Amino acid sequence: MEQVASHMEVGAELSFAYLSPSAGSIVRVHEFDHDSVYEWLSRSGHLEMIPNLPSQDLYLWMVDFTENETRGTLQKKLLRSLTGVSAVWKFRNVLYHEDDAALRWERFKRKKLVETARAWFEAV
């Protein structure tokens, strides 16, 4: 499940991840390789494309983390970072200077990713 979760997060790299439910293996295929055997296997139902995590979900997780897992000055900085353009970048920039909070965020995000991956896997 951890591998599926990791591939959901890695989204915007001009490639897609596919899961073979029967073998339990994951392969990545370049976006422009439409003649790939993996594309054919996906269309034939032998592989399932692992969905990328929508950026809206990540944003909502950041809001949830900020409102429920932080306090005081850090919470104010994170709430401010979540407004306007480049919220993800600004959020990460605040955490870059807060080692403990950054570790808590990574654990929080990982837990959410695994939950999302598990829900997707059960639906497949």
The one-character DSSP state at 46 is: S
3-state secondary structure at position 28? strand
What residues does 50 pair with on adjacent strands? 17
**Rounded CA separation 54/71 (Å):** 27
**Rounded CA separation 53/104 (Å):** 20
Q: Is the dihedral of CA 62, 67, 71, 74 positive or negative?
A: positive
The amino acid at residue 18 is Y
**pTM of the complete model:** 0.79
Per-position pLDDT tens, the chain of length 124:
788 888 787 655 667 787 877 777 887 777 666 666 666 666 666 788 888 888 899 999 999 999 999 999 999 999 999 999 999 999 999 999 999 999 999 999 999 999 999 999 898 7
**Rounded CA separation 104/100 (Å):** 6
Question: What pLDDT score does 3 carry?
Answer: 81
